[in-house]
Amino acid sequence: MVFLTPSYHPIPPQTTAYSNSEDLDADAKIFPFPRPRSVRALHLINGEHFSGAERVQQLLGKRLPEQSVEPHFVCLKAGKFSEMCGLEPEKVSVQAMKSRVDLSLVKKIANQAREMNADLLHAHTPRSASIASLVARSTGLPWVFHVHSPTSRDSTRAFINRMNDWIERWSLWNCNHIIAVSKSLRREMLKRGYDRQKVTCIPNGVAEQTPIDAYHKINEENWTLGMVALIRPRKGIEVLLDAMSRVKQNLTNVKLDVVGPFETKEYEADVIQLVHKFKLEDTIRFHGFIRDVPEAMRRLDAMVLPSLFGEGMPMVVLEALALGVPVIATEVEGTPEVVRDGVEGLLAKPRDPISLANAIKKFVSSRSRWTEMSQNAVKRHRSKFSDVEMARRTAAVYRKMLEHR
């Protein structure tokens, strides 16, 4: 078995055919090979929520079969993935852990891997990586780790970040390959000392959509912005509310729809209190969790993502581009790799309500520029960020990894 180890555990150099360029176009050049029998991949995921990482997992579940890969999913938490993913029930199971250090499931998942004759394991979180590492040791199966966001700064809870970071580092001692969803995350994993031949950037992708008719709104004077996310502290809604209060001082034709559930009831109460403090009751509407996100986005003039940190490559940004909805976002992690300032949208500084307010004001100052951004958004998605290409590259990593075992 080929182990993936940090630099302080040196391993003999090996030659592989993985694509490792930090340029997205170069990274697409994964080497051709004859297609063997279907590869069986057992994905270990959290499954509690249904937000960005879960959308990646869902789309891989739908698209990998087109690449002769048979994916199965084990959720380590009871939650929305098994309910919302739309995959065949026999392809998704729930094996709920009692805590993040509950290792009692290792034997059950190892048996499941043997019964389905799995070829490899694919983990998506520090929690699932800890299980995958032990299952791989038990079964001899190779495994892949998918980096969706920077673990050490994934939330505002410093202790949880440190714990997850330690679990991730501990688990990766026998990992065979790492998939990073952005160039920034790939660079981060390389700085940690992992072999660049075994860290591949595969950008997230979403399905092609029928885009909005931008010219239909060419004479529209009112603007509807939308924040679509699992609403939690690192998403920066407090900064957005501050920015909207500044926009409201000069412009009364700009409204904000907030789409998505709050992480906790306590956090929701804090945000509502801020709405009252900024006197935005007539400016902001909260819609909560909805099933049809694309339909909600179609009603928007712009998707706003004011993240403070921790974004690998936000799926919601890609979904907006696919629909032709321009994006106003902060320059965080992988977001600038998707949205080019002034082309598909506008970028602001994180944690800076003045910068965000100025970006919003500039955005709503011209409908003609908005129509150009809408068209650019569709082109950007179709040329760089399709779900088909994401699955193709993932399947290629599987096969090259198995080939080099």
Give the three-state DSSP class for 72.
strand
Judge whether residue 4 has pLDDT over 70: no
In the DSSP assignment, the letter for residue 65 is G
CA distances from 104 to 41, 101, 252 (A): 22, 9, 57
Q: Which CATH architecture has domain 24-204+386-403?
A: 3-Layer(aba) Sandwich (3.40)
What's residue 18's pLDDT?
A: 38
Mind listing the pLDDT tens digit for each residue in 377-396?
999 999 999 999 999 999 99
Residue type, 95: Q
Strands (E), 263-361: 284-288, 302-305, 327-330, 345-348
Judge whether residue 75 has pLDDT over 60: yes
Q: Range with the lowest mean pLDDT among 27-41, 73-87, 309-323?
A: 27-41
293 close to 271: Cβ distance less than 8 angstroms: no
The confidence band for 63, taking pLDDT boundaries of 50, 70 and 90, is very high
Domain range list for the chain:
24-204+386-403, 214-384
CB-based contacts of 191: which residues, under 8 Å, 6+ apart? none
Judge whether residue 287 has pLDDT over 50: yes
Residue type, 231: I
How far apart CA 316 and CA 298 sit, in angstroms, is: 13
Average pLDDT over residues 39-66: 93
What's residue 6's pLDDT?
A: 42
How far apart CA 30 and CA 338 sit, in angstroms, is: 21
Count of all residues that appear for the chain in the document: 405
Q: Are domains 24-204+386-403 and 214-384 of this chain identical in fold? A: yes
Both structure tokens of 156: 């505002």
User: Which DSSP string do the residues of 186-249 spell out, in sequence order?
Assistant: HHHHHHTT--GGGEEE----B-------GGGGTT---EEEEEES-B-GGG-HHHHHHHHHHHHT
Mind listing the pLDDT tens digit for each residue in 246-280?
999 999 999 999 999 998 999 999 999 999 999 99
Judge whether residue 326 has pLDDT over 50: yes
Mind listing the pLDDT tens digit for each residue in 116-143?
999 999 999 999 999 999 999 999 999 9
What's residue 401's pLDDT?
A: 92
What's residue 152's pLDDT?
A: 74
359 close to 254: Cβ distance less than 8 angstroms: no
Give the three-state DSSP class for 179.
strand
Mean pLDDT score across all residues of the chain: 89
CA Rg value for the chain: 21
Global pTM?
0.83
What's residue 36's pLDDT?
A: 54
The confidence band for 8, taking pLDDT boundaries of 50, 70 and 90, is very low
What's residue 34's pLDDT?
A: 52
How far apart CA 55 and CA 239 sit, in angstroms, is: 26
CATH 3.40.50.2000 fits 214-384, yes or no: yes
How far apart CA 233 and CA 38 sit, in angstroms, is: 42
Bridge partners, 199 (sequence order):
178
Judge whether residue 25 has pLDDT over 90: no
CB-based contacts of 235: which residues, under 8 Å, 6+ apart? 227, 229, 305, 306, 307, 308
CB-based contacts of 138: which residues, under 8 Å, 6+ apart? 106, 107, 110
Highest mean pLDDT among 39-53, 87-101, 129-143: 129-143
Mind listing the pLDDT tens digit for each residue in 303-320?
999 999 878 899 999 999
- For residues 353-384, one letter each, b for 16 or more C-beta atoms within 10 angstroms of the residue's C-beta and e for the rest, the string is bebbbbbbeebbeebeebbebbbbbbebbeeb
How far apart CA 160 and CA 275 sit, in angstroms, is: 28
